[in-house]
Amino acid sequence: MTNHMPRANLTVAPEILSFVEETLLPGIGLKADAFWKGYGEMLAELAPENRRLLQKREDIQAKIDGWVLERKGQPWDATAYEAFLREIGYLVPEGPAFTIGTPEVDPEMSSVAGPQLVVPVMNARFALNAANARWGSLYDALYGTDALPGKAEGKGYDAKRGAQAVAWAADFLDRAVPLAGAGHKDVTGWKRDGASLVALVGEAEHPFEDPAVFVGFTEDGDRKSWLLRQNGLHIELVIDPAHPVGKDSASGLRDVVVEAALTAIQDCEDSIAAVDAADKAEVYANWLGLMTGTLVDTFQKGGETMTRRLAEDRTFTTPDGSTLTLPGRAVMLVRNVGHLMTTDAVLLDGQETPEGIMDAIMTVAAAVYDLRKSEGPRNSRKGSVYVVKPKMHGPEEVAFADRTYAWVEDILGLPRNTVKLGVMDEERRTSANLGECIRAVKDRIVFINTGFLDRTGDEIHTSMQAGAFIPKEEMKGAAWLKAYEDGNVDVALADGFEGRAQIGKGMWAKPDAMAEMLKVKIGHPEAGATTAWVPSPTAAVLHATHYHLVNVADRQEALKSRKRPPLATLLTPPLLAGRNLSAEEVARDLDNNCQGILGYVVRWVDQGIGCSKVPDINDVPLMEDRATCRISSQYVTNWLVHGLVTKAEVEDALRRMAEKVDRQNAGDAAYRPMAPSFDGPAFKAAHDLIFKGVEQPSGYTEPVLHARRREAKALQAA
C-alpha cells in the first residue's frame, strides 16, 4: 500500500487511480478533484454505517445462537421463536400496503418475460457473449445439446440430427404460434399479401390462428424472414432455400431464431475472483467497455482467430410498411458486491473501505456513457442504470443501499432514482421481512430474485447451533424452501410488481443437461416469475421457449388470490430432530460436499476462476460459484458441530477428495495438484471454510477465499 496516492481525504491504489482519471472520467465531464472529493465525503459518512450494520448481523446471530442453545434438546417452539425474533428486531413490523413506483424502466425489465443470463464481467469474451445472447438459433441449441436424444455423427453437418432439430422446432411452433388447420412441419411455402402472412400446404392457404403474431419481415430475393411476436417475445423464421438446411425443407426454412436473453447480469460478485486493485480495475474496464459499446475480445478457437464485439440492432419492415428496429443485445445489469467486504484499493484514514461502495460509484459512473449516447448501441433506452445488489440482511441494509446510490447520483449529477436496484432475496432476514425490504427501495426497485443457493447457506448458518440439518439432497423438498419461493412471488405481486418490475428465479446449475432443463425449468414461469437465470446463451435460447408456452401475466393474475405461506413455515429450520442417518449416508454426503468445495476452491484460489463447470463427485459438470461453496462448507461445519462427523473424518475426506479433484483436472496444464502435500493455499482455503465455518460472517466464503487467493498470487509472483 506504500504506492497509494493521495486524493482528497483518500489514498488510492495506482491501478484504480489511473483507471478513474485516464479512462473513466474524461468522457463524462466530471473533474477528478470533484470525483474524489465526492467519493471521500460519501465514504466518510457511509463507511461507519456500513460497519455498524455488519456488527448488527453478528449481534443478532449471537442472540439466536444463545436462544437455541438454551433450549437444546427441547421440541422446536415456532411461536416462541417468532416472538423472540420480533423482540430482538430480526423481524420488523409490517407497514401499510403500498405499490412500487420505479420510473423509466425498460420493457425487458418491466413488462416482458424471458430468460436472464448471469456472466462474469471479468471475462470479456463471456461478457460479450452474454450481451449478444438476445437472439439465438433454436436449431443450433437443439442440434448441439442433449435436448434431443443422441448426438451428431461425423465432422460435418449431420442431416439426420438436423432433421431431429427441425421436427422439435416445428412442434414448438405448433404450440407457440399455431396455424389454422395445418402443422408447421407440413408447410411447403409462405405467402405474404400486404399485411397478412399465410402458410402454404400445397395449394391450400393456412393463416396463423392469431394473425396478429405476424409483425415484420425482411426480403432479399429468395432469402426472407418472417418475424412473429407472441407473449411479447419474438420468433424469426429464416427462409433460405439455398442453405444446406433450407434446401431440405419444403418451405426453405433454414432456421428458427428466437429472442432469448432479454436481460443479462454482468457480475462483479459471486462469479469472479477479484481480490485486489488490479483485478478490480480489470472488472471496471470491461463494464465500461460494455457501456461505451467499444469492448472487443479476440481469441483463438478451433485454430482460427475470432473477434467478439457488441451486436447491432435488428431491423424489419412491418406489415404496414414502416420500420421496426429491435434491440440486438440483452439489457444489461451490473451486480455489485454486497456490504460485507472491504478493499485496500481505496483507503480512508489508512483503513480499508467498503468494496460495495467502490463498486457503486465506479459502475454507475461507467454507465453514464450509455445514458449520454446519441448514437450507437444503447443499453437502456429509458435512461436508467440497472444494478443488482446481493446479500443484504433486512430492510435497514436495503435502505442503506438506497442511500448509497443516492450519494452516487448526486456526485455524478444524475436525477434521483436513475439507478434502479435489483434486490437479491437470498438471506433469511430479507426473506422474513421482504415487504419492508421492498418498501425501502420502492421507487428504485426493478427486480426481486430468489437466490436459493445463498439462501440455503444462510439458513444453515443462522440455525447452526439449533441442530444437525437434513442431507443436502433432501433440502430441495424442505417446507421452508417452498415457503420462500412462493412467498417471494406473493409479496412482489402484492407490492405491485406486475407489469412494473421483474420477479426472478434462480440458476440452472447443470449447463450440459438441457433435456432436463427443458422439463424442469418451465416451472419458473409457471410459478409466476417473469425471469429465471440460465448459465449460457444456449440455455437462454431453450429456456425462452417456456415463455411462449406459459403466459406469465396470466399466471400472476391467477396467483394473486393464493394464500401466503405462514411465517412459521419459513422460519422453522429443516433439522434432523432426532432422526439418525446411516454411516453410509453420512459418509456419502461428507465426500460429496468435500469434493464440491475442493473442485471449486482450487480453481478460484490458484487460477482466479470465479465460476466454471466443475465435475461433481460423479464427474457430472455443475456450475459452481461462491454460493454453492457456501452451502457445502456450511453443511460440513454443521455436521461437525453436532457430532455427525469427526474432525478426523473430515480431514480424511478432504485428502481423499483432493486426490480425486487432482485426477479430474489432470488434463489442465495450468492446474496445481493439491496432493500429496496438502499444504497449498487452495487446500488450506477448503480446510478453513469448514473448520472455521462457524466464525465466518453469515457463513460467507469471501473472507477466506480472498485471503488465500492473494496468498496464491504472491507465491506465483515470487
Tell me the CA distances in angstroms from 161 to 139, 164, 174, 245, 422, one per residue in order: 10, 5, 20, 11, 41
pLDDT tens across 393-424, in order? Answer: 999 999 999 999 999 999 999 999 999 999 99
Q: Convert the pLDDT of each residue in 319-343 to its tens digit.
A: 999 999 999 999 999 999 999 999 9
Whether residue 454 is annotated as binding a ligand: the answer is yes
Whether 1 shows a pLDDT value over 60: the answer reads no
Paired sense of beta strands 419-425 and 385-389, if any: parallel
Number of H helices, E strands in the chain: 25, 26
Task: Give the active site residues.
Answer: 335, 625
Q: What is the CATH number assigned to the segment(s) 83-134+262-291+324-571?
A: 3.20.20.360
- Helix H or strand E segment including 603: helix 583-607
- Tell me what pLDDT residue 143 has: 97
CA quadruple 679, 682, 688, 691: dihedral sign: negative
pLDDT, one tens digit per residue, over 48-69 is 999 999 999 999 999 999 999 9
137 is in an annotated binding site: no
Q: Which three cell numbers stand for residue 78?
A: 415456532
Is residue 98 a known part of a binding site?
A: no
Q: Is the pTM of this model over 0.95?
A: yes
Greatest alpha-carbon pair distance for the chain in Å reads 82
pLDDT at 646: 98
556 in Cβ contact with 493 (< 8 Å): yes
Q: Is 25 marked within a binding site?
A: no
- CA-CA distance, 246 to 460, in Å (whole number)? 54
- pLDDT at site 376: 79
150 is in an annotated binding site: no
Q: Binding site annotation covers 426?
A: yes
Could you tell me if 134 and 260 are in contact, meaning their C-beta atoms sit under 8 angstroms apart? yes
Q: What percent of the chain has pLDDT over 90?
A: 96
Residues contacting residue 321 through CB under 8 Å, at least 6 positions apart: none
Look at residue 2 in the predicted model and tell me its pLDDT: 67
Is 70 annotated to bind a ligand? Reply is: no
Residue 457 has pLDDT above 80, yes or no: yes
pLDDT digits (tens, 9 = 90+) for 578-626: 999 999 999 999 999 999 999 999 999 999 999 988 999 999 999 989 9
Residue-wise pLDDT tens digits, 188-224? 999 998 889 999 999 999 999 999 999 999 999 999 9
662 is in an annotated binding site: no
Beta bridge partners of 10: 7, 348
- Does 535 show up as a binding residue in the annotation? yes
Query: Which of 429, 492, 396 lies closest to 91 in space, CA to CA?
Result: 429
Domain 583-717, CATH 3.40.50.300 — does that match? no
CB 92 within 8 A of CB 394: yes
Q: What are the angstrom distances between the C-alpha of 188 and each of 167, 199, 206, 241, 249?
A: 14, 8, 11, 11, 8
CATH class of this structure's domain 138-259: mainly beta
pLDDT of residue 377: 84
Locate the domains of the chain by residue range: 83-134+262-291+324-571, 138-259, 583-717
Give the model's confidence band at 433: pLDDT under 50 very low, under 70 low, under 90 confident, else very high: very high
Residue 256 has pLDDT above 90, yes or no: yes
The cell numbers describing 51, all together, are 460497519
Decide if pLDDT at 286 tops 90.
yes
